[in-house]
């Protein structure tokens, strides 16, 4: 799959399906993960988040439709961006082939897992990746992982940080019991409408609906205004500028 932002290669080895990243001649050294970008540069502008959403949705759609595979570990550290403005979904080490759109194994990074994945022995499908995408985009917007839950005053403090200022270090609890309690007992996290536009909030909040059947289908994600607008208008040069700034500590 080759597009404005995203490239994925698929191959078979020893009768097993494998996904591999396809990289340009300059190799991996030209790439940073989005986790590295926000760690160095701080929160991303809403327009960049929209371009990331468009690229990841495109990749998710390709591996699902063409190869019946879901990623199962979508998070900022598994989304690469280059100094040329490319965005690529990577690290398919826990990807799983779908069987009637359902998988039952328990792998991936817990703090990005959907409620249905956290519940032991609960079946899940591609909608679990949609949840992880929503949480990842929220993290890019705040500049820090939104778990433990951010309080309104903490969000305000983060959003008032100047561009290029990393968020203060914040302990992220990855204890399984804490995550289980959060996903099961609490309402779904919602993006702050005070600091983000309605299209951005609509998309991320839809991805983070607790019930998987209530989340948008994979096919419908690309039709959201947030994805369509920024996927079409944000140039690779703009993305490249963000990556270069983060690498240079500007």
Q: Which residues are annotated as catalytic?
A: 73
| 148: preceding bond cis by omega (within 30 degrees) | yes
- Rounded distance between C-alpha atoms, residue 131 and residue 137, angstroms: 10
- Rounded distance between C-alpha atoms, residue 188 and residue 25, angstroms: 42
- Contact in structure between 29 and 11 (CB atoms under 8 Å): no
Residue 187, CA atoms < 13 Å, CB-side half-sphere: 5
For residue 220, give Cα distances in angstroms to 5, 217, 227, 230.
19, 5, 10, 16
- The angle at the Cα of 242, spanning 199 to 74, to the nearest 5 degrees, equals 60
């Amino acid at each position: 799959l080759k597009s404005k932002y995203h490239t994925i290669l698929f191959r078979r080895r020893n009768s097993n399906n494998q996904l591999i990243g396809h990289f340009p001649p300059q190799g991996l050294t030209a790439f940073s993960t989005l986790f590295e970008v926000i760690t160095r540069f701080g929160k991303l502008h809403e327009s960049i988040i929209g371009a990331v959403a468009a690229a990841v949705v495109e990749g998710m759609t390709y591996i699902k439709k063409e190869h019946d595979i879901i990623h199962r570990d979508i998070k900022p550290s598994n989304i690469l961006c280059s100094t040329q403005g490319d965005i690529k979904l990577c690290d398919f080490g826990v990807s799983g082939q779908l069987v009637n759109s359902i998988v039952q194994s328990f792998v991936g990074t817990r703090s990005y897992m959907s409620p249905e994945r956290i519940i032991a022995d609960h079946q899940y499908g591609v909608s679990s990746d949609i949840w992880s995408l929503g949480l990842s985009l929220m993290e890019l917007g705040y500049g820090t992982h939104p778990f433990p839950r951010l309080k309104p005053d903490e969000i305000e403090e983060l959003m008032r940080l100047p561009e290029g200022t990393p968020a203060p270090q914040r302990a992220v609890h990855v204890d399984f019991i804490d995550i289980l309690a959060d996903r099961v007992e609490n309402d779904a996290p919602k993006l702050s409408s005070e600091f983000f536009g309605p299209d951005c909030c609509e998309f991320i909040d839809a991805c983070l609906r607790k019930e998987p059947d209530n989340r948008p289908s994979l096919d419908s994600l690309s039709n959201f205004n947030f994805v369509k607008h920024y996927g079409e208008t944000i140039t690779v040069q703009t993305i490249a500028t963000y990556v270069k700034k983060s690498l240079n500590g500007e």
